[in-house]
Amino acid sequence: MQRDDTMIKSVRYLLLAMLVLLPATVLAGPSGQALSFTCAGCHGTDGSSAGPSMPAIAGMDPEVFIDAMQDYKMDLRNATIMNRIAKGYSDEQIKDMAWFFASQRLYLKPQVFNAALAARGAELHKKHCEKCHENGGRASDAGTLAGQWMPYLEYTMDDFLNGKREWPRKMKRKVDAAIADEGQESIPALINYYGSQH
CATH number at residue 129: 1.10.760.10
Number of domains in the chain: 3
On whether both 81 and 128 belong to a single domain, the answer is no
- C-alpha separations of 20 from 10, 14, 23, 25, 149 in Å: 15, 10, 7, 10, 49
Q: Is residue 107 part of a domain?
A: no
Q: Is residue 110 part of a domain?
A: no
Q: Are 52 and 149 in contact (CB under 8 A)?
A: yes
Give residue 6's domain range.
1-29
Residue 191 predicted with pLDDT over 90: yes
C-alpha 179, offset from chain centre: 27
Query: Which of these three, 46, 68, 102, is where a domain ends?
Result: 102
On whether both 14 and 42 belong to a single domain, the answer is no
Instruction: Find the mean pLDDT for residues 46-73.
Output: 94
Q: Is residue 192 part of a domain?
A: yes
Q: Is residue 109 part of a domain?
A: no
Instruction: Summarize pLDDT for 89-101 with one digit per residue, the tens.
Output: 999 999 999 999 9
Instruction: Summarize pLDDT for 144-184 with one digit per residue, the tens.
Output: 999 999 999 999 999 999 999 999 889 999 999 999 999 99
What percent of the chain is predicted at pLDDT more than 70?
Answer: 86
Question: Model-level pTM?
Answer: 0.81
Q: Is residue 108 part of a domain?
A: no
